[in-house]
Amino acid sequence: MDGLDDKWCKAILSELIAEGKLDVFDEDEGEPDREWLIEAMTNLILDEGDIVYALYWDSGGPGAGAGVEHIFRFRGSYFWRLEVTGFLGLFQSLDDVLTTFPEEFLGITEATEKIYCDELSADDIAGRLLIFLDREERVVTINNEKWRVTKDGQVEPIS
């Protein structure tokens, strides 16, 4: 099940229909069903939203052993895009997403490769990281800067 807020989705879609930017269902048939609503909002967020945070990971395993977790900003709200189930949101700020799902976006494991965020500095992100390492250290790229992350929680830039 998708985690988009139905009431918010309907309000945004009504605005777009009123502005003449969206005309994809027959108003004589009444309200669109939830499936149509989710598909329309997913397409709008993907087309018009901005990726503001991305965490790249690779476990080295086959199949679903690698991926990217994205946070999108769309019309002033924030959404987490899950590869399998779609979008989860609406959040009022990037911080709301990060504090609601800290392990998913701030957790560093052996699989974590890089983090990119256009709303937070590398220092800001580094200061919030949660460390879940089995080995002694890992090098992670944060906003195009290399950082050393140690098992005991030390996070420092690599000069």
At 46-88, the pLDDT tens digits run: 898 999 999 999 988 877 688 899 999 998 889 988 776 677 8
Confidence band for 43, pLDDT divided at 50, 70 and 90: confident
Of 17-21, 116-120, 136-140, the one with minimum mean pLDDT is 17-21
C-alpha dist (Å) from residue 148 to 10, 28, 62: 45, 60, 26
| Residue 119 near residue 53 (C-beta atoms within 8 A) | yes
pLDDT of the residue at 37: 72
For residue 81, what are the contacts with CB-CB under 8 A and spacing of at least 6? 45, 69, 70, 71, 72, 87, 88
Q: What residue spans define the domains of the chain?
A: 1-48, 50-159
The pLDDT, as a whole number, for residue 138 is 94
- Across the chain, mean pLDDT equals 84
Question: Per-residue pLDDT for 126 more than 50?
Answer: yes
State if pTM tops 0.85: no
For 55-60, the CB contacts below 8 A with 24+ separation are 55/104, 55/105, 55/112, 55/114, 55/115, 56/112, 56/113, 56/114, 56/115, 56/116, 57/109, 57/111, 57/112, 57/113, 58/111, 58/113, 59/110, 59/111, 60/111
